[in-house]
Amino acid sequence: MESLGTNRGVRKVSEKITEQGRTLIITETNNDKLNWGLIPDGTLHVDPVTGAMSVKLFGESTWVPVMIGGSGALEIAKDAILKYEVFTITNADNQDGTFSYTNTKGEERTGYIDPADGWMVFDLEEGTYVLNRNKLEIIVDDVMHRSVVSGGIREIDEERFAMVPVKTGSEVTVKFIQNFDAGSLYPRLFISETEPIAKEYGDLWMDLSEVIQ
């Protein structure tokens, strides 16, 4: 009698899965392992550690970040810039509530140690990041990854963050997405007496102070 049990073993995935008209969800973090030309437009990339999402759009040569707006609607970054800053700790504790480090250019800087929890506070110098969007990632000595989701760092404002203390000689690589113009996938409705500043093509504006007689 033929067995009705589940067959086990490795199964080949059909190449039709990458045909245009079909999309994928990719979690591979090493872009060198991906063949950009074979990835269908509209494919989502999800970072398995931070949960950050991006999408492949037609005509783009790299992933375009996607975030969730305050309304819960998806927003696509139109002018996103992925930036890196590298800080090297030269003295982890100056015994006065501060620590010393060098920036990407090798210039000396002094940061303060938060007395509440002993965490180190850094200032970004080459850009700002979007708060509360998990767009900030710290890599210590090219090995240890930290984010707000995984723990070990705290967002303070668009230019500052705090992280768990590290020892003298540690290299702290800061990876963040520069503030960008985020566009909604759907038309938005503004209700105000003044023309909205953050308007985009296709949005609707209602001025309730104007009355048609």
The predicted pLDDT at position 56 comes to 85
pLDDT of residue 78: 57
Share of the chain above pLDDT 70, in %: 74
Question: Which has more pLDDT, 124 or 12?
Answer: 124
* 75 or 138, higher pLDDT: 138
Position 185: which residue type? Answer: L
Q: Read off the pLDDT of each residue in 65-69 and give the average, rounded to a whole number.
A: 62
- pLDDT of 165 > 80? The answer is yes
Question: pLDDT at position 197, please?
Answer: 64
Distances (CA, A) of 142 to 30, 51, 85, 155, 172: 14, 20, 13, 21, 8
Q: What is the mean pLDDT of residues 162-169?
A: 96
In which element (H, E) is residue 125 found? none
C-alpha of 162 from chain center: 17
pLDDT higher at 53 or 213: 53
Q: Are 167 and 92 in contact (CB under 8 A)?
A: yes
Structure-token pair, residue 13: 């995935």
Start-end of H helices in 64-196: none
Rounded mean pLDDT, 77-92: 85
State what percent of residues in the chain have pLDDT above 90: 33
Please indicate whether residue 85 or residue 63 has the higher confidence score (pLDDT).
Answer: 85
Higher pLDDT among residues 107 and 45, named by residue: 107
| Residue scoring higher pLDDT (188 or 99) | 99
DSSP one-letter code for 32: G
Tokens 């074979």: give the residue: 38
CA distance 99 to 116: 16
pLDDT for residue 107? 96
Give one word for 207, left, alpha or beta, with left for phi > 0 and alpha for psi -120 to 50: beta
* Per-residue confidence band for 164, with pLDDT thresholds at 50, 70 and 90: very high
Quote the pLDDT of residue 94.
Answer: 97
For all residues of the chain together, what is the average pLDDT? 79
Q: How far is CA 167 from CA 108, 119, 141, in A?
A: 17, 12, 11
3-state secondary structure (DSSP) of residue 188: coil
Q: Residue 74 burial by CB count (10 A; 0-12/13-18/19+): exposed, middle or buried?
A: middle
